[in-house]
Amino acid sequence: MARAMLAALGAATLAVTTALGPVGPVAAKDNTGAIVGGLVAGAVIGAAVASSVNHPKDIYVKPAPPPPPKPDPWQNAFSPKPGVKCYPVQHACYNKNGAYNANWTWKVYQK
C-alpha cells in the first residue's frame, strides 16, 4: 500500500511539473493545454490511489485440504454363506436385509 501511494505521488508531481514547465523567467506562452493534461493525469492517479485504499485488508490464505476419510471399519467384513455378512469389529453377523443374525453370530464366533 505505501509503495503504491508513493508511486502515485511521484507520478502526480511529475505530471504537475510537466504541466507548469521549467521554473524561471521565460517568455510567456500559452500553457493551458499542458495544465489541463496535468490535471487529468493527476485525477487518474488520484483515482488509482483511492482505489488502492479500498482494497480488502485481509490476506487470502489457501485453506487446508480436508482430512483424508477415515478408514472403513467394516472393510474386513466377510460372508460365511451367501446372504449373510459378518463384521469382526462388531463380533456380529447380519442377514443381507440388515437384520441381526444370531444363528450365524453363534456359529462363527462361538463354535
Residue 91's SS3 state is coil
Candidates 14-22, 32-40, 56-64, 101-109 — which segment interacts with other proteins by CB under 8 A? 101-109
**Backbone φ/ψ region at 21: left (φ over 0), alpha (ψ -120 to 50), beta:** left
110 binds other proteins (CB under 8 A): yes
**Continuous H helices in 21-78:** 32-53
Name which position in 11, 42, 48, 107 contacts other proteins (CB under 8 A). Answer: 107
90 binds other proteins (CB under 8 A): yes
Nearer to other proteins, 38 or 104 (CB): 104
Nearer to other proteins, 46 or 73 (CB): 73
35 binds other proteins (CB under 8 A): no
Which residues, including other chains, have CB under 8 Å from residue 15's CB and lie 6 or more apart? 37, 38, 41, 42, 45
